[in-house]
Structure 1
């Protein structure tokens, strides 16, 4: 049986890849191959190495909303600090903060989405269903 990168080998005795390593590398939660993403932040349909179907996972918009608030706060604070200490022209702010914001959003979104998929896989999470009640 194949090793599971989150829990170790199939019998539980082997080493496990840490969640951080899986999410930073955009790795498949089952086999550990770097096949999770087909684009910058778009998931591949399935792992080309082990065949795990990534479309069955649902990370939703949680990472995007959470990261928008955090990164927005950090970047606005840094821009205000730069303005109050150096007083650069407006074009300098555009040249500095637009690429920094874009890189930070894309990089952190990839990491957050990969981490959520790995946790969903580890916990065998699936969409909630209400069981029918008996008579």
Structure 2
């Protein structure tokens, strides 16, 4: 079976080895292993890289959106509460995409934790 493409892995939450669905067990939590091929997802160190980028990206998008809305329509203050669910959706969706993409990259390039050999 051919390995799935990186965009499909990230968008659909597929296993990078076999392409079976089930990379996540929650909105952004990885499963322990693939139910089809047994690939151990816990062996990969995705870390906080995707979250760090999202702080800047989502923050910039939401800030610019709020400023544009306020400048164009000058709505009441409570209208800006729309940015709370927008921020949550962008963050959860972005974390899911970013974590899946990074795990797939680590699998493809056989990235592992560094070890000092003596």
**TM tier relative to shorter chain:** over 0.9
CA distance in 1 between counterparts of 2:79 and 2:19 reads: 41
CA distance in 2 between counterparts of 1:40 and 1:93 reads: 25
Secondary structure of 2:112 counterpart: coil
Aligned to 1:10: none
Higher helix proportion: 2
CA distance in 1 between counterparts of 2:85 and 2:80 reads: 10
Aligned to 2:101: 115
Aligned to 2:44: 57
CA distance in 2 between counterparts of 1:46 and 1:18 reads: 19
Aligned-residue offset at 1:73: 0.7
Q: Which of 65, 80, 85 matches 1:78?
A: 65
CA distance in 1 between counterparts of 2:9 and 2:49 reads: 19
Scaled by the length of structure 2, what TM-score is found? 0.96
CA distance in 2 between counterparts of 1:115 and 1:33 reads: 15
Aligned pairs for 1:2-21 (under 5 A) are: 3-5=1-3, 17-21=4-8
Higher relative contact order (CA 8 A, sep 6+): 2
Secondary structure of 1:49 counterpart: coil
Q: Which of 29, 49, 53 matches 1:42?
A: 29
Aligned-residue offset at 1:89: 1.0
Higher Rg: 1
Scaled by the length of structure 1, what TM-score is found? 0.84
Number of residue equivalences: 118
Aligned-residue offset at 1:78: 0.7
RMSD: 0.9
Aligned-residue offset at 1:4: 4.1
What are the ranges of 5 or more consecutive residues in structure 1 without an aligned counterpart? 6-16
